[in-house]
Amino acid sequence: MRSGGNARLALCDRDGTIMVDRGYLASPDGVELLPGAAEGLRHLARLGLVPVVVTNQSAVGRGWLDGAGLEAIHERFRQLLAEAGTAVAGIYVCPHRPEDGCACRKPLPELAERAACDFEADLSRSFVIGDKASDVELARRVGATAILVRTGCGAEVEAGGEAQPDYVADDLAAAARLVERLLAPGGAEFPLP
């Protein structure tokens, strides 16, 4: 599914990409932005991309966290981003367990497609940035450019060859600088690192 719009999305994973991955986070007290995350989001927005979060949160489906608890976490997340002078345009969540067979758990494309619809974006002109193989696979499934960050699980994913991203960056700030080079005239020829 492709939206008819021309907007470009930066579909960013949450845990391990923008904020510290604490496993099954159940309290807003554990929300902590990763170094470079706010800078990266600001840079992506300056480049004209719409930064959104796409995240699997199976703690909800497992009964370890309810909707109100998840919203409290995201409220703290938004507050920390605002204090750092940035924001995300939307947060798209799969609350299901892997065994539930939903259509929204990454790497399935439903969350990306919803975001593309909401922002009239073209997924084939967009970027998926994350630290897991499922983020890279999501990019493949929607025709976006896949950037693996080495934060969170990313360094292990890269070393293990679990995913074949288009590009690898140290963190979200480095990913944003990479996107800037890719969007520059002649940037399509920018080589893999």
Alpha carbons 64 and 56: distance in angstroms, whole number? 14
15 catalytic, yes or no?
A: yes
User: Would you call 85 exposed, middle or buried from its count of C-beta atoms within 10 A (0-12, 13-18, 19+)?
Assistant: exposed
171 catalytic, yes or no?
A: no
The backbone region for 143, taken as left when phi is positive above 0, alpha when psi lies in -120 to 50, beta otherwise, is left
The reply to whether omega before 165 is within 30° of 0 (cis) is no
Three-state secondary structure call for residue 163: coil
Alpha carbons 44 and 174: distance in angstroms, whole number? 11
**Between 133-142 and 110-118, two packed helices, what is the crossing angle to 10 degrees?**
60
Q: Which residues pair with 54 in a beta bridge?
A: 92
User: Which residues, at least 6 apart from 28, have a Cβ–Cβ distance to it below 8 Å?
Assistant: 72, 73, 75, 76
Q: Which of 15, 21, 135, 166 is catalytic?
A: 15
Q: Which of 13, 21, 166, 171 is catalytic?
A: 13
**Looking at the annotation, which residues are catalytic?**
13, 15
